[in-house]
Every structure is written in structure tokens, then in C-alpha cells.
């Protein structure tokens, strides 16, 4: 059989399947795998779980895309009410910028963007080689 890896795995307690081009091989933990026949009850339950999980993720994503603009606007309005120069100002500005960056993506804000924003609002304290500050 070309393209078919006949690797061993645990035997499914329901269908007792083994390596075969007709059967499905599922990783159940590294390096353990288990084979299932197409009509295996465990395999059917796994597929139902995967489909339900995928549907939940799509529903959550749709909901978040609908709600995000209004929540973002509420954050911007709340941030605008904070007096400039307060100790909380860098936190508010960083959060607002991070949320704005998220609004401009279709997924997650990358780590490099997080770091750029945090570095801008919370710059590192550089050493004072001339000891001009106390």
C-alpha cells in the first residue's frame, strides 16, 4: 500500500481495529495512537465532539465580531474620562492601544505587537552611567 504507514497502536476496546487503509488512526497522546473502524462507536463519538467544538468556536467568533466594536467604543469613552497625568494613565493608554491593535486583526495580536506597545507605555529603566539621578 503506497502512502499508508502501518504503525502499531493501542487496540480500540470497541472495534478492535488495527492498521489498515480503511481504518482511522487517532493520536491519543504522544506517542500513543489508536485505530478505529469507520463504524466504531468511539470514533463516532470523537467526530461528534470535534464537530460540536468547531461549531461552538464559530458561534463564539461570530458573537465576538458582532459585540467587539461596541465594547471597544465603551472602552475608548471610559479611557477618555481619566484625567491625564494620573498614575493609571500608562495602563489606560496601553490597554486602549492593545484593544485597537486587536480591532485591526482577524485573529490575535502577535507577541511582537504586544511588546512594542508595552515598551512604548512602560519603557525600561535604563542604567544611569553618570549617576546623575538618585
Q: What is the pLDDT of residues 56-108, one digit of tens each?
A: 999 998 998 899 889 989 988 998 898 888 888 889 999 999 988 888 776 78
Q: CA 4 to CA 90: how far, in whole Å?
A: 57
Closest by CA position to 21, among listed 10, 41, 37: 37
Q: What is the pTM of this model?
A: 0.58
Amino acid at each position: 500500500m503506497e502512502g499508508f504507514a502501518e504503525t502499531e497502536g493501542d487496540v480500540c476496546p470497541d472495534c478492535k481495529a488495527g492498521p489498515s487503509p480503511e481504518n482511522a488512526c487517532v493520536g491519543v497522546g504522544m506517542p500513543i495512537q489508536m485505530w478505529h473502524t469507520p463504524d466504531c462507536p468511539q470514533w463516532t463519538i470523537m467526530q461528534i465532539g470535534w464537530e460540536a467544538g468547531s461549531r461552538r468556536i464559530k458561534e463564539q467568533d461570530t458573537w465576538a465580531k458582532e459585540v467587539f466594536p461596541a465594547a471597544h467604543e465603551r472602552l475608548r469613552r471610559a479611557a477618555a474620562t481619566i484625567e491625564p497625568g494620573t498614575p493609571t494613565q500608562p495602563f489606560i493608554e496601553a490597554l486602549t492601544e492593545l484593544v485597537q491593535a486587536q480591532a485591526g486583526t482577524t485573529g490575535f495580536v502577535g507577541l511582537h505587537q504586544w511588546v512594542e506597545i508595552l515598551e512604548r507605555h512602560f519603557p525600561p529603566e535604563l542604567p544611569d552611567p553618570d549617576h546623575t539621578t538618585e
